[in-house]
Amino acid sequence: MVITVTLNPAMDKTLSIDNFSLGNVNRISKIRYDIGGKGINVSKVLKNFDIDSNCTGFLGGIWKETFNSELNKRGISNKFVKINDDTRTNTKIVDYLNETYTDINEAGPNVTKSEMNQFLENFKELCKQGDIVVISGGVSPSISKDIYRKLIKIAKEQGAFVILDADGELLKEGIKENPDVIKPNEHELELLLNKSIENEDAIIQESKRLINNGIGKILISMGHRGAIYVTKNSVNYCKGLKVPVKSTVGAGDSMVAALVYSKINNFTDEETLKYAVASGTAAVCLEGTDACTMEQVNGYLDQLNVESRR
C-alpha cells in the first residue's frame, strides 16, 4: 500500500486575474477550488496513474466534508483524524498576461495534543512491511518541527520505504532518520545545507555527501532547467522542456508521484528521472492543482534525454 501524509491540508482557491495590480481593484476572470496539500496532491496523481493510496493527516471545520466527498468521488481511500479547528484555505493568484503566480498560504489550524496522539496511533497501525510512505508538505505552527523525524522512524521500524518532500527544519529533522528518498528543490537544498550552491556540480557533490551520511536517494528539482537524480550508484541529469505554464502548484508533488510509480515498477534510475521530469512538466501545463494523467506524462517522455553525470 502507498500511504501519503498531509498534516496541513488546504482548500486551494485559484483566482485568474489578467494584469493583476497590487493595491488596486482587480477583476477575476476565473475561479476554481481544488482539495490540496502536498500528500493529497500526490494521491490524486497516483490515482490517475492507476495506483491506489491511503491519505492520512488532519481535517476539520467547514472543508472536512468537502475533502471527504472529493476523495471518495476519486476513489482515494483516506483515514484523516478529525480536528476541532478549521482546515485552511490557500489562495493562488494566476496572471497569465504577465506570467506571474502568487501564493497566499494560511498558517493552518491548531492541532491539540490528543489529536496528535490519535494520529500517531493511527499512523503506526497503517504502516506495514513493504509499504511506500510519502511524507510531504508543511505543518501548522502548533506541530513540532521534529514530527517528520518521528514519522519516518515509525514507518521504517514497520518496514516501509519512505519518501520525504519537505523544507526548512522539517527536512533537517527528517533526514536524521535517513529516509529512502528526499526531493528538495535548489532553494530547499541550500536551506538544508545553510549555504549557497553555485552550480550543478556543487549540487551533485553536496547530494553525494548527504547520501554518504545515510540518505538513500536525492531528486533535486530545478524548475524549467530540469532535475538531477543522485543515488549511491549513479548521477543523472535531465533537462527541462519549454512548455506553456498554467500553474506551478503541484509540479513537485507530481514528481514525487512519479518516484512512487517508478519504485512500484522497478524502474532504473534513468527511467525514474525521466518519468519525474515528464510528470512535473505535465503538471505545470494544468490549471490549479489539477492532477496530471499518465497519458499526459507519456506525451513528454520521448522529448526528454537523461545524461549521466558520474
CB of 89 within 8 A of CB of 106? yes
Sign of CA dihedral 56, 282, 289, 65: negative
Q: Per the residue annotation, which of 12, 34, 253, 269 is the catalytic one?
A: 253
Return the C-alpha torsion angle 65, 66, 70, 73, nearest 10.
50
Contacts 24+ apart (CB under 8 A), 150-155: 150/120, 151/5, 151/123, 152/177, 152/178, 152/179, 153/177, 154/120, 154/123, 154/124, 154/127, 155/123, 155/127, 155/131
DSSP state of 177: G
Q: Are 293 and 48 contacting, i.e. CB atoms less than 8 angstroms apart?
A: yes
Question: Hey, what's the cell of 55?
Answer: 491519505
- In residues, how long is the chain? 310
| Cβ within 8 Å of residue 121, ≥6 positions away | none
Is 131 assigned a catalytic role? no
- In sequence order, what DSSP letters do the residues of 77-100 get, joined into one string? EEEEEEESSPPEEEEEEEETTTTE
Return the closest-CA partner of residue 49 out of 280, 310, 279, 287: 279
Residue 185 pairs in a beta bridge with: 221
Strand order in the sheet with 30-36: 30-36, 10-16, 88-95, 100-104
Rounded distance, CA 123 to CA 131, Å? 12
- Which residues does the annotation mark as catalytic? 253
